[in-house]
Structure 1
Amino acid sequence: MSSWLWNWTPWINPPPPPTTLERARAHIRSYDPLKLVANVFAAGLVTSLGLGAYYKRFLKRIPTAGYVTPNMITGRRVIKGVVTRVGDADNFRIYHTTALHTAIPTTEQELRNQTIHVRLAGVDAPEGPHFGHEGQPGYEESMTGLTKLVLGRTVYCELLGKDRYGRIIAMAYLRDPRFIYLIRHRKCVSLKMLQLGLAVTYEGKDAKYGDYTKEEFMHHEKVALSKRLGIFKDGPLLETPAEYKRRCAKNGEVAGGEAGNDETLG
């Protein structure tokens, strides 16, 4: 008899491969329960912290300048808002908007204590009539120009500091500067005021110029002066806004525009 008959074994079908559910169960059973709980907890904590940070930066609304933290300023955070009021020729108020807060209040009562007072960085405009003294020549023209530029429009404010009145010093743009890499396309409000001859370069000790330089600002001011634009229609100013404020301070008067707190209307 052939030897292969003695070595023959009957065919046995191999066991079916484990199902996905069975593999998952086996994988879970291989874990240490305490380690599994710890990993789940850690993942949840990291997710919560990440969502919290995202909410604070992108979804939480900043009601007033008092809520702007030093970290926001040192990080030069950019916030988006709609201009609800132009208080003077170089400052305005914005209602901060986020993905969760897009509706803009329309009444004075709704806007009270809900706007951020912004001082345009790098520029100084003629002072208006305040506290019983006359405004400077060119104030109305500058005020009208800034109002046309920003009132009711969305602006992007790069936070650069706070002044002694508690206003936020910011470089304001009509386009989001975070996504426009060519500076000339950002539509900087301060530069526009200089180019139209509606302001001069601010040179105080707290001057901020953002991504620009003082020399760039002064160049645009000189060009406007050479073209006799805006407040330079009669030539160089007889008294700059800074000189005007120093004179008022020397006489015991208060100058500096709408240097109010956040209790004032939006």
Structure 2
Amino acid sequence: MTSISPTTKGQDVGILHPKVLLFSAGIAVSAILGYRIYRRYFKRIRTILDLTPEILEDNQKLYGYVTRVGDGDNFRFYHTPGGWLLGWGWLRHVPLKNKIIMRDETLMIRLCGVDAPERAHFGKPAQPFSEDALEWLRNYVYGRYVTITPYSIDQYKRIVARCQVWKWSGKKDVSAEMLKNGVAIVYEGKANAEFGDCEDWYRRLEKRAKWFKRGVWSLGSKMITPGDFKRVHYRGE
């Protein structure tokens, strides 16, 4: 008959000891929580497929670098999670010379709450102040680190988001600054429109720019909204 040594028996009991089980459970829970924290706050978001429903529902802020401004109300964004604390800008750098990464691993951001004049597309004419809006946005955010608050994804796979950037006078809301300067108007269409909690503020800023005839409002009665411009020149309505 085979006998069980006291040492072997003690090892078997030790593995099932409540303290050992509790320690193992603690390790498992810590690993799960650690992964969730990494996924939520430190994993770099390369495409909209990485943008989880939780990030959109919670309007989780994302920090990153503006790599390109191609229109008056949207730009390309390279996510740099953790920002300066994780070395971005001093130990780690945005790979601007890597064209593949700049094309495939940047997010297209559509500024929330505003609509800029339409540039020339597909042989269609440009709207007055469209180049002014592009140049203004390019000077304001291109090559800078910004914070975006994502709200939704539109029909063109762009992230509709609030964008904020630090200036010498403090943190600025980019949509608000465009409205102040008359290089954009409050977004007209309610479908897919996102304002966060800024809609009333945006409308007051637009009203003030209109009163002082800034930017597009200097056209007076000749001013056509971007929405109407697209309906006439792009949809033939």
Could you say whether these structures have the same fold, taking a TM-score greater than 0.5 normalized by the shorter chain as the test? yes
Q: CA deviation at 1:36?
A: 1.6
Q: Which residue in 2 is equivalent to 1:141?
A: 132
**1:73 has 2:63 as partner:** no
Tell me which protein shows more helix as a share of its residues: 2
Aligned mates of 1:130, 1:72 — CA distance in 2: 33
1:104 equivalent among 80, 94, 98: 94
1:62 equivalent among 45, 65, 71: 45
Tell me which protein shows more strand as a share of its residues: 2
The one-letter amino acid of 1:219's match is R
Q: CA deviation at 1:42?
A: 0.9
What SS does structure 2 have at the residue aligned with 1:187? strand
Q: Which string of whole-angstrom CA distances, capped at 9 and with x for unpartnered residues, describes residues 141-179 of structure 1?
A: 11111111100111110010111111000000114xxxx
Highest RCO, 1 vs 2 (Cα 8 Å, sep ≥ 6):
1
Which 4+ stretches in 1 moved above 3 angstroms?
Answer: none
1:128 equivalent among 119, 126, 132: 119
What SS does structure 2 have at the residue aligned with 1:161? strand
Q: Percent identity?
A: 35
Aligned mates of 1:85, 1:101 — CA distance in 2: 22
2:206 equivalent among 221, 225, 243: 221
Aligned mates of 1:221, 1:81 — CA distance in 2: 28
**1:118 has 2:118 as partner:** no
What SS does structure 1 have at the residue aligned with 2:124? coil
Q: Which residue in 1 is equivalent to 2:176?
A: 191
Aligned mates of 2:36, 2:195 — CA distance in 1: 28
The one-letter amino acid of 1:200's match is I
Are 1:66 and 1:166, in contact at CA under 8 Å, matched by a contact in 2?
no
Question: Rg: which structure is higher?
Answer: 1
Q: CA deviation at 1:212?
A: 1.4
The one-letter amino acid of 1:106's match is L
Q: CA deviation at 1:251?
A: 2.9
What SS does structure 1 have at the residue aligned with 2:161? strand
Q: Which residue in 2 is equivalent to 1:20?
A: none
Scaled by the length of structure 1, the TM-score of the pair is 0.75
Moved more, 67-76 or 88-97: 67-76
Aligned mates of 1:195, 1:203 — CA distance in 2: 17
Aligned mates of 1:197, 1:237 — CA distance in 2: 15
Q: Does the C-alpha gap of structure 1 residues 35 and 157 become closer, same or farther in structure 2, counting only changes over 3 Å?
A: same
- Number of equivalent positions: 213
**Unaligned segments of structure 2, at least 5 residues:** 1-13
Q: Which string of whole-angstrom CA distances, capped at 9 and with x for unpartnered residues, describes residues 90-126 of structure 1?
A: 0001000023573101222331201000000000000
Aligned mates of 1:101, 1:169 — CA distance in 2: 27
**Unaligned segments of structure 1, at least 5 residues:** 1-30, 176-183, 253-266
Q: Which string of whole-angstrom CA distances, capped at 9 and with x for unpartnered residues, describes residues 231-258 of structure 1?
A: 2223255311011122234239xxxxxx
Scaled by the length of structure 2, the TM-score of the pair is 0.83
Q: Does the C-alpha gap of structure 1 residues 116 and 219 become closer, same or farther in structure 2, counting only changes over 3 Å?
A: same
What SS does structure 2 have at the residue aligned with 1:119? strand
